[in-house]
């Protein structure tokens, strides 16, 4: 079986930058409660 080949176009993809944590959103907007609507 042959080795999988690396796709060089992957090097052009932007790095993933995660969103803010619930605690960070609470602090930034002065909220007591935050509901997370989606997750990666």
Average pLDDT on 6-21 reads 92
Mean pLDDT of 8-31: 94
Structure tokens at 24: 């960070």
The answer to whether residues 18 and 24 touch, using CB atoms and an 8 Å cutoff, is no
- ∠ CA 15-17-20, nearest 5°, is 180
Residue 35: which pLDDT band, with cuts at 50, 70 and 90? very high
Mean pLDDT of 2-30: 93
Provide the residue count of the chain: 40
What pLDDT shows up at residue 1? 75
Helices in the chain by DSSP H: which ranges? 22-29
% of residues, the chain, pLDDT over 90:
65
Using alpha carbons, list the distances in angstroms from residue 10 to 15, 29, 31, 35.
10, 36, 39, 34
The DSSP secondary-structure symbol of 14 reads P
pLDDT at 37 over 70: yes
């Amino acid at each position: 079986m042959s080795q999988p080949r690396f796709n060089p176009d992957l090097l052009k993809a932007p790095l993933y930058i995660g969103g803010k944590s619930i605690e960070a959103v609470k602090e930034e907007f002065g909220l007591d409660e935050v509901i997370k609507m989606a997750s990666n």
